[in-house]
Copies of this chain bind each other. A is one copy, B any other.
């Protein structure tokens, strides 16, 4: 006996409408002001259809992250051949896109989501891991730019991202000089 139950299967249209509505509302209102009822209305979907598949709004957001509906590709560090300059660019770039001290900073919203929902937290973290674009960039620097072979790739990545998060939380910015000092200290 297979475990096919009778009746219709999950509606892909509803799933997509929910995720897209969530992404839309998340970016326009932030995580705190995101509500299940708002998502349902925006998606033209019954509330039960959300609750049937996700236990909480945090989990819907986590799925949005997974589908790449929340974070832009600009998060990938540039590759000019100068690892230090590239990382400095990446850091200062973040604040233009995600973490402006004013406004409803998207990055702060994601941090709030991660603080409130384990799945979101783990998801974000795993996107920084050994297979992330940041790690790739550092590995490339080791092979092609003579960066020290024993550079602890993951720790360096986490330190950089962590510093950015801290600045986002404090509603301040990292100016270029500060970013250079940070990268300098980390990469020797």
Residues of A within 8 A of B (CB): 32, 108-109, 111-112, 114-116, 118, 121-122, 124-126, 128, 151-152, 154-156, 158-167, 169-172, 178, 181-182, 184-188
Contacts and interface: CB of A to CB of B under 8 A. Distances in A.
B182 A155 contact: yes
Nearest to A129: B170
Nearest to A156: B185
Nearest to A105: B115
Contacts of A165: 162, 165-166, 169
Given A111-B111, A158-B167, A165-B166, 9 more contacts: A114-B170, A124-B170, A152-B185, A155-B178, A158-B162, A158-B166, A158-B182, A159-B159, A165-B169
Contact of A169 (B32, B121, B185, B188): B121
Contacts of A118: 171
Contact of A121 (B125, B126, B171): B171
Nearest to A109: B115
Contacts of A163: 155, 158-159, 162
B152 A162 contact: no
A31 B37 CA distance: 22
Which residue among A128, A185, A188 has the maximum number of chain B CB atoms within 10 Å of its CB?
Answer: A185
A114 B108 CA distance: 9
